[in-house]
Structure 1
Amino acid sequence: MRIFAIDDSPSILSFICHAVAAIDSCEILPFLDPSDALMVMQTLQADLILVDYNMPGMNGVELISRVRQLSNVRDIPVIMLTSETDPVIKIAAIEAGATEFLTKPIDRTEFTIRVRNLLALRIAQQALASHAQSLERDVTAARSRIAAQEREIIWRLSKAMACRDGETALHLERVAVVAGMIAEELGFDPATCETISMASPLHDVGKIGVSDAILLKAGPLDAAEMEEMRAHAAFGAEILGESESHVIEVAARIAGSHHEKWDGTGYPLQLSGMDIPIEGRIVAVADVFDALCSERPYKNAWPVDEAYAEILGGAGRHFDPTCVAAFERKWPLIRQLYTRTDGAAAARADLSQFSSQTNTTLETAA
């Protein structure tokens, strides 16, 4: 334990050094000048500070005030040594941060007891701080495990749904990455971008309530079939709603709003403009673009440049113009995800390279 002793009297410092020498595991650093002590405290950790009151240039109260301004000694016990009996001085010292007082002339026995007690307090503080740090590390590790499990559950559920309606896991991965890119370009913080990326694969979870005959129909849907298909957005929001998970809350907003249109002609609630949740506006761009570029039972895949032009042409009608502008600024990176000619493995490598937010495990599509 390191003790700083500050007193302008060499004889008092000598007395303190001899008294501390009798206490096990202690190092004493004596200072005649308070300024020298303050300078050393900035680099060496103190465990107990002994301060005289009457000193030239800086009295004990002023020194304690300066000491308490140092981040590494704000909670260190401080004993003021003084022959002053004025209660005003003691109150000022307490307000400045003094822990205890010893009256001069100092009784050696009392001095030793007080020092040992405050060192024991300091040891208890250190043990408590260490325990708190250990608990914080455990909590952080537990949160990381929970987050990883949540990501995996979301991914596996999304993959199961994608397989059911003829989509692939690669579609979900690309939507997640493109949505994360758009969110990043819009200026969202990394945690929000990651949340949107993690939640986006659940955008069509409501299709679990749509019949296979409609999901896999090769031709256009009639009015009744279209109504059933459109019901998946509200159903998805209902499935995911009222969750205590922040990611699932975001996924619920995405599921319920990614088919809304900027001009109010979308579904299920015909929301328009800024009334559409931002997560839904972002995923709408990513989902429609990838859907255009993907082969489905009822259509062939569009060339990526034609799909890109379609997204830009939908700004202000189908899509939020700011989201389309962000998509356009990210286009050089997005285009590379869709123009590699060496197959799905290369596309997966691109996804891993370009996604700076999402930690979703990219698995081989069934």
Structure 2
Amino acid sequence: MKTSFDVIVIGAGIMGASIAAALVESGLDVALMEKGIAGAQGATRDTGGIVRGLELDATLRPLTRRGSLYGNPGIVHGLYESALNRSGVAYIASAEVCGQYLEAVDSDGCESIELHASVDALDNGRFSPFCVGECLLIERNGGTVDARVAVSNLCRYVSEKATYLDHLAVDRCVELDGYVQVHAGKLCLEATWVVDACGASGPMPRPHNAVHARTIPFTRFGCDQAPSMPIITHHLNTYLLPLGRNLVQVGGQRRQRAEHADQLNMAPLDNEQDVMDRVSRLGYDRHHSLPVVTQVGWDAYTEDGRPVIGRSSAKSHLFLATGFCGIGFKMAPNVAELLALELGGLMSGVSMDEAYRSVMEAFRPSRFAEVALS
């Protein structure tokens, strides 16, 4: 069995699978490792897969924008675009928030964005009586992708072109002189570089107090008519994701936090009541809406709301790609493209240019206390 690689990616969620596929396509010798089933852990398991390009945090926009950053879409961008159900995405928000969203729109994307002074244009005005004074943005090129299907396709690509090892948990990583040993059960693999894409519970040390675990509660309810597209409702601080004609998923806000995923309280708490109270303010009252199930997943988050991407310390051969705060799905294609460029450059001795460094600086682990590596 092959045991030595250019790069080992740990974690086959949407982020790890995307990074591995991009690295394989760039010509590197890659192994992707997953402790269970691909896409069955963390945020990937429970994400609604809402794909939208508009982002309030300007620092995140290079990661969330649609399309290749460097003009070479590749396998990951191509898979996402082909799998996208372009239903559109609606944003209900104040005029001020809509204005902030529009700052993210460049000249190439403006034709796909609609701004309305009221919500009358959404679903024949059904939400208008409940959203007086709110504005409406519609991102016509947005929509949804089934995250688990996307991960399965990415892992299939990796397994055909490189090495994919599932049901194999990594016990520890040991950094030596210029390479890393990855210990998993009876196996000891080696790689020049290792990428930890394990969300809130990985086998590698992280910057102190940087990445935490957080519950992701959501409720699915039946109704007379689901919305025609996903809706981001700023005034209610949640989202509505249509899952069928009469079924909607809504994000809950009663969240728990812990240092590691296995310390989280995964009880539903009062999220069902909280969600139903929120959607009743959009007209989904108790007479026409029935809660079906409330579930609790988890994700990795950071206090500043920005992911941790890059070398764990200045000279380390360990990379981190975690802390995506539950929206890693819409960042994965561009993060994969950026890391493929950086790791490819490191393997070939090519330095990244200033434009690349300026994009990545805000996400470096060094913004937190550096990891103490043994």
What TM-score, normalized to structure 1?
0.22
Q: Which has the larger radius of gyration?
A: 1
More helix by share: 1
What TM-score, normalized to structure 2?
0.21
Q: Report which structure shows greater RCO (CA 8 Å, sep ≥6).
A: 2
